[in-house]
Structure 1
Amino acid sequence: MKEIDRIDRKILAAMQDDGRLTNLQLAEKISLSPTATAERLKRLTREGYILGYHARLSPEKLGRGLLVYVEVKLDRTTGDVFDAFAAAVRRSPDVMECHMVAGGFDYLVKARVKGMEAYRTFLSDVILSLPGVRETHTYAVMEEVKSTARLPV
């Protein structure tokens, strides 16, 4: 895999700003020919620098206005419990992200639900029913100060 250069970084930054840029618009933005731009974009995608494109949706308009983070502590930290927990989390449409972490608990779950009543249902039907869950701590987000998927390039 080739190291990325300044022009590749300009492409990545431009695509993070607007993933709907046409090849011609992108070429103009980075001052490169459309053919060379298209080849670089293909290579960046092929090599895994660009993972995909998506629309950013409004959680509020779609009835998912409450954002919660849930610390999950498991009763046993064995491979089978980890595997079962991960598989169950992947099936839940309410879970946006789930990360195994080092520290005082095992997983940090990020979820979006309609409101507190929906969260109570989510907690009892999804989180507490997951394999091996011993303890949880929930943090309801009062205000999103910064939310981005943008990486510095």
Structure 2
Amino acid sequence: MLDATDHRILRQFQAAPDLPMADLADRAGVTPTTLARRLDKMRDAGVIRAVRTVINWPALGYTVEVSLRVTLDKTQPRAFDEFLSEARKVPEVIEAQTFLGQVDARLSVIARDMPHYQQVYRDKLLTLPHIADIEALMHVARVKFDETLPL
């Protein structure tokens, strides 16, 4: 399990993952060697999966984001697997989730503008297998987006 030092390291690492190791160690109150050893241990244990870059899609011209709530035809035995396999191939689908309940899946889709979204919707999304019903929810604003844990 993680101790108080590990939690302190994770708090600092979440806040500034691109900080030089010596500075990160100083902020966490440990030596650079201890920091490196503990980060390696947390990576090996799967606590830290990756350090990644978060891209500002609108800055690259992708100004439309839509959430699609999808209900699948569950009379088909492999409906979930086949739907998700094909959805993964659509570059504009940036996230896919599955649910238990009335809605089976949610796709988060980005597009440059509405004509681009309409083209993606007609040519790529409506052709995904086993769709029984689909509802589009246009994103207006992202009020909160935070993947950090309250450590």
State the TM bucket, normalised to the shorter chain: over 0.9
Contact 1:75 1:132 in 2 (8 A): yes
Which residue is equivalent to 1:50? 48
Partners of 2:13 and 2:54 lie apart in 1 by 14
Which residue is equivalent to 1:129? 127
1:65 and 2:63 matched: yes
Q: Residue type of the partner of 1:14?
A: Q
Which residue is equivalent to 2:97? 99
Which residue is equivalent to 2:86? 88
Partners of 2:150 and 2:54 lie apart in 1 by 19
- Name structure 2 gaps, 5 residues minimum: none
Deviation at 1:148, TM superposition (A): 2.1
Q: Residue type of the partner of 1:5?
A: D
1:109 and 2:107 matched: yes
Which residue is equivalent to 1:37? 35
Partners of 2:19 and 2:43 lie apart in 1 by 15
Deviation at 1:11, TM superposition (A): 1.4
Which residue is equivalent to 1:118? 116
Once the two structures are overlaid, the 10-residue window that deviates more, 73-82 or 15-24, is: 73-82
Deviation at 1:79, TM superposition (A): 4.3
Normalising by structure 2, what TM-score? 0.93
Contact 1:71 1:109 in 2 (8 A): yes
Partners of 1:10 and 1:68 lie apart in 2 by 37
Deviation at 1:15, TM superposition (A): 1.5
Q: Residue type of the partner of 1:121?
A: Q
Partners of 1:149 and 1:92 lie apart in 2 by 24
Q: Residue type of the partner of 1:75?
A: D
CA RMSD of aligned residues (A): 1.4
Which residue is equivalent to 1:146? 144
SS in 1 for 2:50: coil
Partners of 1:126 and 1:150 lie apart in 2 by 33
Q: Residue type of the partner of 2:5?
A: I
Once the two structures are overlaid, the 10-residue window that deviates more, 73-82 or 129-138, is: 73-82
Contact 1:127 1:133 in 2 (8 A): no
Shift of the 46–79 alpha-carbon distance from structure 1 to 2, 3 Å rule, reads: farther
Partners of 2:100 and 2:136 lie apart in 1 by 18
- Name structure 1 gaps, 5 residues minimum: none
Aligned length: 151
Partners of 2:33 and 2:58 lie apart in 1 by 41
